[in-house]
Amino acid sequence: MKKLTLIVNGKKTQVDSHPFSRLLDVLREELKLTGTKEGCGEGECGACSVLLDGELVNSCLVPVIQANGKKILTVEGLAKKELTPLQISFMKCGGAQCGICTPGMLIASHWLKKSKKKLTTQSIRENLSGNLCRCTGYSQIVDSVRNVKGAS
């Protein structure tokens, strides 16, 4: 066990974890931030996506020690009180069905929007290809990202 510091959604947090615990488990079990989901545990589905110092990572593949002292953004950190324009767009365009892939999709889309890449259907599809969704067939997710109004 090791004392580690994580800055989760803007808040400095101490955790007492095995250094090789998966970041995903520390978030979900110790910090009770269950918004981040586990779909495969092997880096294939992206349901566990979080931002680690601004980088998009699969938290099921990150040992928590690698996050020590770093900033982590999870789905819970997106909306302050009101939903963000990105979340509103997902709501309006049908980007979430069962919702289990949604936290990962939102984080990946948020990262994509922040990256200031040009958002064409093709670039959105390329950048979200690490996030699997079994419900939507992706069209409405792509629409959600493309149609965001205002800053994200």
Partner 1 sequence: MTWVGRSALRKEGDGKLRGLAKYIDDISFPDMLHGVTIRSSIARGILREIEYLPGVNWDDFVKVTANDIPGHNYVALLEKDQPYLVEKQINHPEEPVLLLAHPDKQLLEKARTLVKIHADPLPAIFSMEESAKQQSLIWGTNNTFKKYAIDRGDIRSAFENAAVILEGTYETGAQEQLYIEPNGVIAMAHKSEGVTVWGSMQCPYYVHKALLPLFNLPAEKIRVIQTETGGGFGGKEEYPSMIAGHAALLAWKSGKPVKLIYDRMEDMVATTKRHPSKTVIRTAFDHQNKLIAIDIDFTIDGGAYCTLSPVVLSRGTLHASGPYFSPNVKIRSRALATNTPPHGAFRGFGAPQSLFALEKHMDYCARKLNVDPVTFRKSNLIQQGQMLGCGQIVNEKIKIKDVLDRALKESDFKRKQKSFRQHNKKSPLKKGIGLSVFMHGAGFTGSGETFLASIASVKATPEGKIEVLTSNTEIGQGTNTIFSQMAADALHLDFEDITVVQPDTSRVPNSGPTVASRTCMIVGKLVELAALDLKQKLIAAKFLKGKYQRKDFISACKKYLKEVGELKGNSQYKAPPHVVWDEEKYQGDAYGTYAWATYVAETTTDIRTFETTVDKFWAVQEVGRVINPTLAKGQIVGGVAQGIGYALYEDIVWKEGRMANNKMSNYIIPTTLDTPEIEVHFMELPYSFGGGGSKGIGELPLDGPGPAILNAMEYALGVQLNFIPMTPEKLMKQMDSGAS
Site for ligand FES in 29-48 (CB under 6 A): 38-41, 43-48
Q: Which does 94 bind (CB under 5 to 8 A by kind): ligand FES, partner 1, none?
A: partner 1
Which CB sits closer to partner 1, 69 or 120?
A: 120
Q: What is the dihedral of CA 41, 20, 77, 5, to 10 degrees?
A: 180
Q: Which does 106 bind (CB under 5 to 8 A by kind): partner 1, ligand FES, none?
A: partner 1
Which CB sits closer to ligand FES, 37 or 113?
A: 37
Which CB sits closer to partner 1, 53 or 98?
A: 98
Does residue 132 contact residue 39 with C-beta atoms inside 8 Å?
yes
User: d(Cα 124, Cα 138) in Å, to the nearest integer?
Assistant: 10
Q: Which does 53 bind (CB under 5 to 8 A by kind): partner 1, ligand FES, none?
A: none
> Which tokens hold the place of 6?
């994580």
Residue 130 Cβ vs ligand FES, minimum distance, rounded to whole Å: 8
Which CB sits closer to partner 1, 62 or 106?
A: 106
CA-to-CA dists, residue 91 to 36, 51, 68, 94, 118, angstroms: 19, 22, 34, 6, 22
Among 50, 101, 128, 148, binds ligand FES (CB under 6 A): 101
Residues 6+ apart with CB under 8 A from 53: 70, 71
Give start and end residues of each alpha helix (H) in the chain.
23-25, 85-93, 102-114, 121-127, 139-146
User: d(Cα 104, Cα 133) in Å, to the nearest integer?
Assistant: 10
Q: Which does 126 bind (CB under 5 to 8 A by kind): partner 1, ligand FES, none?
A: partner 1
Binding site for ligand FES (CB under 6 A): 38-41, 43-48, 58, 60, 96-102, 133-136
